[in-house]
Amino acid sequence: MEKKEKVEKFPRMPKVWEAVIVLGILIACLAVGIIVYHVDPHVPMLLGVAAAAIMAKILGYHWEQIESFMIKGISKAMQSIIILVIIGVLIGVWLNAGVVPSMIYYGLKILKPEIFFVATVLICSITALATGTSWGTMGTMGVALMGIGFGLGLNPAITAGAIISGSYFGDKMSPLSDTTNLAPAMSGTDIMSHIKFMILPTVIVYVITLVFFGIIGFVMSTGGDADVSKVNELQDSLSSMFNINPVLLLPPVIVIVAVALKVPAIPGITIGIVCGVIVGMIFQPGCSFGSFFECGMNGFSCESGISEIDELLNKGGLMNMTFSISMTIIAMMFGGIMEETHQLEVIVNKLKKIVKSPAGLVTLTEVTSVVSNATMPEQYISLVVPGRMYSEEYKKMGLHPTTLSNALESSGTVTSALIPWNTCGVFITSTLGISAAQYAPWAVFNWIMPIACIILAFLGITVADKDGVRLLKKKRLAKKSA
């Protein structure tokens, strides 16, 4: 009797409940870590990676394969990681050169008592665009503006809503923002294409936001004089520390022009660094090449004696980007395992049955991002998980990856502020002193943006084919040719 050959056990497809268990463990670890113990999401996310790896072993994969899945996942985000490194250097250089201080200084000049709410949105937009951080903007300019609004006798919840709306607009559209870099990394496009595609829908919502706060400001205007002493104090401090000059606005203009001319992200941002060094050497007498090296590495540091100024300017540098970089690496380790072992696939196969059109896929993506913000209360996760879950479905439908990246940013980035237990909601409440239940109705940009993106998707504006042509434009061209 012949001896039976040993049959090698090949990896099998996971069952839906197995994949859901892994996601459940991830959610539980993040919820306990962030909500209960108030820790950063990195280690809880790493526990989620361990759960995904254990499930991969149960499915029959060898450790060498699991390790390669993690490395493959990280490799997909390498462009974003490189850009984050360069952006860290850029922020440090621009602060040292007086570029960011000049942007903030001139932004403060537009503040007028009779248009306080609109001015608040604009000031926070400019600051967030310059720094790439909504948290930094709210923790500095936001605090000062809350005080001014209180002095005017205005509703603090509305003031907070205007601050949040402007801060998240600037964060969403700034090439310096980590989320603006993370979203295209998850979808498979570049940051320049991502920002360009976001301009139309984001500007539409931004105009609605400005009109809304303009009407509110007109209705609620007390007609009194504003106590702008805090703003004057910030301006005086900036002008005493830096040689403020309109020419210092040139580097960000050059970066914007680079976006319009479709210059690749890495060389485009590098040009901004070089321009920052040049104008800094010209206009800031205390600047030297050595100071730019130091600020590029460890960020700008100052002690002005004004806490708002110090908190606003003490940032940047390559080392200060390690938080975002390490979070991206760990998240992509999780995504790599879930994707390569088909754990995401079995979940998507269930969900995609309800999707019949590109607009439906955009809707499902946004809903998933919002749910991620609520169940995995960390902004980065709301971009990473849905991004990895649906990227293949966008390809199968013949959609350009900017359609996905725009959907992620229009939901995951902005709705994080509306959820009280999300890290963003907790930060805002502790910083501005207003609860999410109070400010959320007035953070109009944040809750209109995802709704508008879905509506515009059904109109063919926030959906593009594989060549990057919006479906609305494609339909118009088809009618003309017919």
Q: Tens digits of per-residue pLDDT, 280-315? A: 999 998 888 899 999 999 999 988 777 767 877 887
Asked if pLDDT for residue 9 goes beyond 60, the answer is: no
Residue linked to tokens 């604009």? 122
**How much is the average pLDDT of 136-165?**
83
Q: 86, 56 in Cβ contact below 8 A?
A: no
State the DSSP code for 32.
Answer: I
Query: Helix, strand, or coil here: 350?
Result: helix
Distance CA 347, CA 339 (A): 11
Interval 302-357: pLDDT, tens: 887 777 678 778 878 899 888 778 877 887 888 789 888 988 778 877 887 888 89
pLDDT confidence of residue 8:
45
Q: 62, 88 in Cβ contact below 8 A?
A: no
pLDDT confidence of residue 227:
55
Q: Could you tell me the two tokens for 60?
A: 């029959």
Distance CA 298, CA 36 (A): 32
Mean pLDDT of the chain: 85
Show the CA angle centred on residue 383, arms to residues 380 and 385, nearest 5°: 100
Cα–Cα nearest to 27, from 377, 386, 387, 423: 377
Q: Could you tell me the two tokens for 165?
A: 């709306």
Beta-carbon contacts of 293 under 8 Å, excluding residues fewer than 6 positions away, are none
Distance CA 404, CA 421 (A): 26
Show the CA angle centred on residue 13, arms to residues 9 and 19, nearest 5°: 125
Asked if pLDDT for residue 455 goes beyond 90, the answer is: yes
In angstroms, the Cα distances linking 182 to 79, 92, 240 are 10, 20, 36
pLDDT confidence of residue 4:
45
Cα 208 to its chain centre, rounded Å, is 21
Beta-carbon contacts of 46 under 8 Å, excluding residues fewer than 6 positions away, are 330
Cα–Cα nearest to 128, from 98, 103, 160: 103
Cα 237 to its chain centre, rounded Å, is 29
Phi, psi of 435 (to 5 degrees): -75, 160
Distance CA 353, CA 230 (A): 55
Q: 55, 14 in Cβ contact below 8 A?
A: yes
